[in-house]
Amino acid sequence: MTVLAYSEDPGLASEVYAGATEIAKQLGSEALSIYLDANTAPNSTAGKAVVLKSDRQLSGHPDLSLEAISEYALQRKPSAVLIGGTRFGRQLASQLAVRMRVGVLSDVRCLKVENGKLRGVRQVYAGKYSAEVVAPLPCVAVIPAGAYEKNVGTPSVETVTVGRASEKISHVETKPKGKVTVDIKNASIIVSAGRGFRNKEDLVLLDELAKKLNGAVGCSRPLSSDLGWLGEEHHIGLTGARVHPDLYLAVGISGQLQHVAGIKDSKIIVAVNKDKQAPIFQVADYGIVGDLYQVIPALLKHLG
């Protein structure tokens, strides 16, 4: 019996494999990473890996990816399948669970095997509480970013040919997405903006502070989704990225539950807000009650 791990995101794939390795040790079995197509040959995960290939390119096509992974999983009959918690990963996990006729655990971490069942912990009510969830083995589990340390290395690779796959979705047009300028999920320092900023032009203050700290720029949902001041890749929260930096600096962010759900794994949270009753101070390790238009220039001057 094996534990399979898959994510189309290379960085997350190594984290998912690390989780699969822990479960495999508990089961006395082995972990195996899945990759699609020869051009996506693994170069970031240690251990063992299998590359699935077909007569058509599989990666980038949801239907074909599902067909290939489902065929391999049904043949291999794994103890568990771990899928990275991306938008595509969540879709894949639910459909794969249906095909395998097994249960699925969503956005779980701290996985452990007990009495033939897989237990995990997931955040509920916008991250205010944690709930323990369980499913009989075999099962599928979705692993969020940051749940495990990356397992980096060069694996031994096996190539497996899967059957001819067919798409149920017709491709009409591809529109390129704007260039992503920030890797918010892997940043060690994040400086985030909220509605405390009065104008888009004022975000230059945040940019300067981020450069001084060698950090990335993030934001709460209104600045990306409502106002469009920053791209969606900067959005941190329940419906955006969930981050775990060494330092998270929240500037002008009130601290609603939806945002806190995305930052609660930060090692140190520092908040700047002129409202001393702002909820962000309830989760902050350090807080500055003051106008960001005075605090940020003072910080920039101090940092030189």
Residue-averaged pLDDT of the chain: 88
| Backbone φ and ψ of 36, nearest 5° | -115, 130
Looking at the structure, tell me whether residues 6 and 128 fall in a common domain: yes
What confidence category does residue 171 fall into, taking pLDDT thresholds of 50, 70 and 90?
Answer: low
Write out the residue range of the structural domain in which residue 296 sits.
Answer: 184-303
CATH of the domain at 63: 3.40.50.620
Across 118-126, average pLDDT: 85
Quick one: 134 and 223 in the same domain?
Answer: no
> To which residue do tokens 């995101």 refer?
9
| Residue 149, CA distances (Å) to 1, 13, 14, 165, 294 in order | 24, 11, 8, 34, 38
Convert the pLDDT of each residue in 53-97 to its tens digit. 888 888 878 888 899 999 999 999 999 999 999 889 999 999 999
For the record, the structure tokens of 74 come out as: 């049904």
Residue 181's pLDDT band, with cuts at 50, 70 and 90, is: low
pLDDT of 102 reads 96
What pLDDT was estimated at residue 40? 55
66 and 146 fall within a common domain = yes
The domain boundary, picked from 161, 192, 218, lies at 161
Domain count, the chain: 2
**Can you read off the two tokens belonging to residue 154?**
């060069």
Give the pLDDT confidence score for residue 42 in this predicted structure: 57
Residues 102 and 198 in one domain: no
Helix (H, G, I), strand (E, B) or coil at 237: coil
The answer to whether residue 165 scores a pLDDT higher than 70 is no
Residue 47 sits in the same domain as residue 136: yes
Is 138 domain-assigned? yes
209-225 confidence digits (pLDDT tens): 999 999 999 999 999 98
What's the pLDDT score for residue 236?
94
**What separation in angstroms does the CA of 194 have from each of 12, 134, 203, 217, 231?**
27, 37, 10, 11, 14
Confidence at residue 70, expressed as pLDDT on a 0 to 100 scale: 93
Do 14 and 137 belong together in one domain?
A: yes
Q: Indicate if 50 and 198 belong to the same structural domain.
A: no
**The CATH number of the domain where 271 resides is what?**
3.40.50.1220
Gap between the Cα atoms of 142 and 173, Å rounded: 30
pLDDT at position 44: 55
Dihedral sign for Cα 37, 179, 245, 263, please: negative
